[in-house]
Chains A and B, each alone.
Chain A
Amino acid sequence: MSAVIDSHHDDHHHGPAKGISRWLYTTNHKDIGSMYLWFSLIMLFIGGAMAMVIRAELFEPGSQIVSPEFYNQMVTNHGLIMVFGVIMPAFVGFANWMIPMQIGAPDMALPRLNNLSFWILPVAFGILLSTFFMEGGAPNFGWTFYAPLSTEYAPPTVTFFIFSVHIMGASSIMGSINVITTILNMRAPGMTLMKMPLFVWSWFITAYLLIAVMPVLAGAVTMMLMDIHAGTSFFKAGGGGDPVLFQHIFWFFGHPEVYIMILPAFGIVSHIIETFSRKPIFGYSSMVYAIASIALLSFVVWAHHMFTVGMPIAGELFFMYSTMLIAIPTGVKVFNWLSTMFKGSLTFETPMLFAIAFVALFTIGGLSGIMLAIAPADFQYHDTYFVVAHFHYVLVPGALFSLLAGAYYWIPKWTGKMYDETLGKVHFWMSFLSVNLTFFPMHFVGLAGMPRRIPDYAMQFADWNMMVSVGAFLFGISQLLFLFIVLKCIYNGKEATNEVWEGAKNKGFEWTVDSPAPYHTFSSPPSLESLKTSS
């Protein structure tokens, strides 16, 4: 931005504006990144509070604190908020902060669009949450909103839900266009695609996934809207449609969506592991190819969520095989991380602890994914807590841990202050223990036959459920500690050095600039050579 901005409005360009208007009108990637991150943290507490309601209701058999109707609203909104309101915006926040810094760009390519992408998110979620106070209550048909439960049998607030999904989609699409454009067009001289940091690569591919599937989701909710309000029959057998058509369209979006929630995590974790191993990442190019293959495969596996809808057998087999294939590129990544640590010089600061836990626990979640992929066995697993266990393992100690790891890793760069390492470690160990206590026993109740999305259950599931609930409460409290650590860091942290981590030498442009990173990072594009010689 530099030169031009400087020459045109030289007077007030070196720092942010003051007050609320700074945040409302900003076009700065760091401001917008921070807003995304705060937004997602707030949403984590809202979605997490809903999870606490779920766990309180399931603490014991019998009706506990909420009615079955409200329970369904809790489950639905918990899922929606965690997926669309926590994980995705948080990764976009990281993208905003880190991509320009890592590729040496002055800002995102389309800054005003960037601001718009963020500010429509609170609109979307404000509307979604306001349905709790409307006649008929909030959406109650699961985050997968299968028709006709979500069309002919839905509460009237489904209309608000549909439009709010449209807006979330628009936000993601605009955000991805911005990411792609930035990466294609704004890299520092000499940074070829195969020299880009892995986080940038992971987001590059994620952005393509988003652009490809969010419009399909928009199509799906549009069809719902038409079925509800215009008398069409996409999902009505009586008119020649099929409720299962909805599932095909939804999962065509939905499966790539789950990788959207994990690929950037792979990127973050790769950086952390190489930094704290004090070694270069192992197999850089196979890491890139692995991400790309996962993304490509993700378009042809969607019906593994639908093994029980009565597909023709050819379909069952095809989707079983294609799903299993994903284990190969993912395994490559896991082994590459291990090899990066192999013969390294490892230290275990909080980001590294979370990253290691990510690798270990994501592997567990991935392996249960492989079990689910075995179609005949999935007849027994499907829609039980075994599935719930699987996806929480990949999402909570997976995606969420990677976010925590990334936050600890980069927060000194963002704020210029160090977080409290001791508290960070306490946070890690509390989270690590309680996350397993919460989600591991879910495998058992799932195999023993407990269906998901039920507010009350048979006696034989009682013991494990109580343990799960206890674990969940502990995990919830642990995240309050995280909030405290962040606030303490911002208001009361020690000054951080520019390089922050001993192992960060040579590990990217972000470590060559001041801490906190200046409001406008690069006044002239840095060169890759400068990175090499700075070590």
Chain B
Amino acid sequence: MSDSSYYVPESSKLPIFMAFGLLLFVLGASFTMNNWGEEGSNAHWLLIASFAVIWGVMFFWFGSVINENDSGLYSGQLNQSFVWGMAWFIFSEVMFFFAFFLALGYVRLFAVPWLGGEGEKAITNILWPGFEAAWPLLVTPDNEQFPGAHHSMAIPEISKLHTWLPFWNTLCLITSSGTIALAEAGLRKGNRTAFKLWMVATLTLGYIFVFLQGLEYYEAYSHMGLTLGAGIYGTTFFLLTGFHGFHVCLGAIILTIMTIRGFGGAFSHHDHFGLAAGSWYWHFVDVVWIFLVLVVYIF
């Protein structure tokens, strides 16, 4: 294994600055949320400052990793550490989504039927006379406090498929998983033009996805009455697609940076871990989306 040597960076100021950035973030986010809508609250500046610090540190952090790599400090073994690190990081993200899928499964299989007078705890319905279990849940048990949506996001009949945004979204994401694979393949073969082209294609598809998702949210809020406050259907819809969308954005940012670096001449056919990691992340986002389409929109 450790045939050559393993690079251990000398002390570094980056982590402690990152910790400081997170401190600012927590204080900023908490105060902002707690003082929401109050006159004269300046907490959001704290939040903004924290983003500046965090992004700044990230910039220098990745920068120094790249420099160290370029100056040949990294052994194959160390690169393997990055591979494992990224792989298990993605696994942890999978588990984060798992919690939300679990929530969706639970409300659909248990909570909503019970509230509606079905299943083993049907008796619960005495508290919600008139409420009926259904999914998508458009009329909530307490429809005054949580007015349900007028329409659901569910898949329409096949002939109207082309009017259904998630269909285009799915198309975009799946294709982009393919294009990024092509980009990597191009790089590995040393064909930099193909690499750049496919990267740009991937990014375009990614940004289209984000745009369409934004459009869909706009539709939901302005025409369908589907909001965060629309009961559990809106709740799970927005949180699942929202966190997914957030991860798409992250992935898109990573890939944008990789593309810019690629245009600047970075990455070689055998050494391009940054790009590979970005592309795994992208595939992960894609897989989550497929599950999401199945359970949020279709079934």
Interface residues of A, Cβ cutoff 8 Å to B: 1-5, 8-9, 13, 17, 21-22, 24-28, 105-107, 109-113, 115-116, 119-120, 122-124, 126-127, 156, 159-160, 162-164, 166-167, 170, 173, 176-178, 180-182, 184-189, 211-216, 218-220, 223, 225-226, 229-234, 236-242, 244-245, 248-249, 252, 310, 312-313, 520, 525
Contacts and interface: CB of A to CB of B under 8 A. Distances in A.
A382 to B, nearest CB: 19
Contacts of B121: 310, 312
Contact of B102 (A8, A233, A249): A249
Contact of B91 (A21, A166, A182, A211): A211
A176 B11 CA distance: 21
Given A5-B10, A238-B146, A173 B34 contact: no
A266 B99 CA distance: 29
Contacts of B95: 211-216
B84 A180 contact: yes
Given A216-B95, A245-B111, A237 B102 contact: no
Task: Give the interface SS of chain B, mostly helix, strand, loop or mixed.
Answer: helix
A220 B95 CA distance: 12
B250 to A, nearest CB: 15
A245 B107 contact: yes
A22 B22 CA distance: 21
A319 to B, nearest CB: 15
A5 B7 contact: yes
Nearest to B242: A226
21 contacts: A1-B7, A3-B4, A5-B8, A112-B12, A115-B15, A159-B34, A166-B26, A173-B92, A177-B89, A177-B92, A180-B84, A186-B81, A189-B1, A214-B92, A218-B99, A230-B228, A232-B229, A237-B111, A237-B127, A240-B231, A245-B106
Contact of A109 (B13, B26, B81, B120): B81
Most buried by A among B1, B15, B61, B84: B15
A27 B6 contact: no
A177 B84 CA distance: 8
Given A116-B19, A238-B146, A240-B231, A249 B29 contact: no
Nearest to B36: A229
Contacts of B163: none
6 pairs of A and B residues whose beta carbons are closest in the complex? A219-B99, A238-B142, A1-B8, A240-B232, A3-B5, A25-B11
Contact of A177 (B7, B85, B141): B85
Nearest to B4: A3
A21 B111 CA distance: 53
Contact of B5 (A1, A159, A240, A313): A1
B98 A216 contact: yes
A219 B98 CA distance: 9
Task: Give the interface SS of chain A, mostly helix, strand, loop or mixed.
Answer: helix
Nearest to B141: A238
Contacts of A216: 95-96, 98-99, 102
A313 to B, nearest CB: 8
A215 B96 contact: yes
In this complex, the interface size class of chain B, counting residues with CB under 8 Å from chain A, is: 35 or more
Contact of B232 (A156, A173, A233, A244): A233
A242 B2 contact: no
A210 B70 CA distance: 33
A418 B232 CA distance: 61
A509 B78 CA distance: 22
Contacts of A313: 120
B17 to A, nearest CB: 10
Contact of A236 (B5, B19, B146, B234): B146
A181 B107 CA distance: 37
Contacts, number: 257
B276 interface: no
Contacts of B252: none
Contacts of B19: 116, 119-120, 122-123
Nearest to A5: B8
A237 to B, nearest CB: 6
B226 interface: no
B264 to A, nearest CB: 24
Contact of B228 (A27, A214, A232, A245): A232
A124 B27 CA distance: 11
Nearest to A164: B26
Given A27-B9, A115-B16, A186 B1 contact: yes
B52 interface: no
Given A25-B12, A248-B106, A252-B99, 13 more contacts: A2-B6, A4-B5, A27-B10, A105-B2, A107-B6, A113-B15, A115-B16, A178-B85, A180-B88, A216-B102, A219-B99, A223-B239, A231-B227
Contact of B115 (A176, A215, A237): A237
B232 A239 contact: yes
Nearest to A111: B8
B193 to A, nearest CB: 35
Contacts of A164: 26
A1 to B, nearest CB: 4
B91 to A, nearest CB: 6
A454 B110 CA distance: 32
B23 interface: yes
Interface in B248-292: none
Given A4-B5, A163-B26, A186-B2, A240 B107 contact: yes
A32 to B, nearest CB: 10
A310 B98 CA distance: 24
Contacts of B9: 27, 111-112
A252 to B, nearest CB: 7
A181 B5 contact: no
A520 B10 CA distance: 12
A5 B238 CA distance: 49
B69 interface: no
Nearest to B79: A185
B172 interface: no
Contact of B77 (A170, A186, A211, A245): A186
Contacts of A163: 25-26, 29-30
Interface string B128-152: 1000000001001110011000000
A4 B119 CA distance: 66
Nearest to A236: B146
A22 B27 CA distance: 27
Contacts of B75: 4
Nearest to B128: A237
A186 to B, nearest CB: 7
Contacts of B8: 1, 5, 27-28, 106-107, 111, 520
Contact of A220 (B7, B99, B239): B99
Contacts of B195: none
A211 B93 CA distance: 9
B100 interface: yes
